[in-house]
């Protein structure tokens, strides 16, 4: 079996520790310590984050979507595959090296999606992008950290507390959806979303889509049109 080779490492701004990019043949892995945050062979649940959200906003004209976390681009590519030509996709990525990896060693994984004219990269915290608009997005897709149970940065918790959820709701247009990826279930987060004024659907999905893999969770929280 081919050995893993470390290609690069970077420090997550703030309190997040060190990310390491590794490669084994055509397979890539992004690690935080001994934890694998993402792997280029496992994309099913990240893709579902985009496609399930699109199902909720299909009737919106000129949709504008915010994706929190570039990762390996799976959510972005899936969004671009279903969104119309007049859509706009803002991708907020805190770690500059992740964007550099997308243009460099992982270019084959990204398949040119960052050059799509619908895409704008926001280099910074997704909470800044959320707080900068009022009723401006049709969908906010959060694949940040490990979901509501943070792993890399304590400051990510603010995305999922009541103030953070209120900010996301205010940033959404009527009928817009806040979609949140998580590595596992969290019933208290479902209640928090409902208490924040969303109608909530919880979807169980698999890391490798129909082929199985680890079980992940996606919350689809819709802002009432009332």
Domain ranges of the chain: 42-223
Confidence of residue 14 (pLDDT cuts 50, 70, 90): confident
Per-residue model confidence (pLDDT) at position 146: 65
Per-residue model confidence (pLDDT) at position 44: 86
Confidence of residue 9 (pLDDT cuts 50, 70, 90): very high
Q: Per-residue pLDDT for 129 more than 60?
A: yes
pTM: 0.92
**What is the torsional sign of CA 72, 92, 13, 134?**
negative
CB-CB neighbours of 128 under 10 Å? 11
Q: Kindly state the average pLDDT of the residues 54-64.
A: 96
Q: Which of 46, 100, 58, 62 is nearest to 82 (CA)?
A: 58
Distance CA 73, CA 112 (A): 10
Report the percentage of the chain scoring pLDDT > 70. 91
Query: For the chain, what is the mean pLDDT?
Result: 91
CA angle 47, 52, 58 (to 5 degrees): 120
Q: Per-residue pLDDT for 226 more than 60?
A: no
Q: Per-residue pLDDT for 209 more than 80?
A: no
- Give the class (CATH, top level) of 42-223: alpha beta
């Amino acid at each position: 079996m081919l050995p893993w080779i470390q290609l690069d490492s970077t420090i997550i701004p703030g309190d997040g520790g060190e990310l390491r990019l590794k490669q084994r043949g055509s397979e890539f892995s992004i690690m935080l310590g001994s934890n694998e945050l993402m792997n280029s062979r496992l994309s099913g649940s990240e893709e579902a984050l985009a496609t399930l959200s699109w199902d909720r906003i299909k009737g919106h004209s000129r949709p504008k979507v915010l994706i929190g976390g570039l990762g390996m681009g799976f959510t972005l590519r899936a969004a671009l595959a279903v969104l119309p030509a007049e859509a706009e996709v803002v991708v907020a990525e805190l770690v500059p090296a992740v964007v550099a990896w997308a243009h460099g060693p992982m270019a084959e994984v990204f398949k040119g999606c960052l050059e799509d004219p619908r895409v704008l990269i926001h280099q910074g915290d997704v909470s800044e992008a959320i707080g900068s608009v009022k009723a401006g997005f049709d969908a906010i897709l959060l694949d940040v950290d490990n979901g509501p149970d943070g792993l890399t940065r304590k400051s990510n918790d603010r995305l999922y507390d009541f103030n953070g959820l209120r900010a996301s709701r205010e940033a959404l247009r009527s009928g817009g959806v806040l979609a949140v990826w998580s590595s596992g279930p969290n019933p208290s987060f479902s209640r928090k979303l409902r208490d924040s004024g969303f109608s909530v659907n919880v979807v169980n999905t698999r890391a490798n889509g129909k082929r199985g893999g680890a079980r992940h969770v996606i919350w689809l929280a819709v802002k009432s049109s009332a």
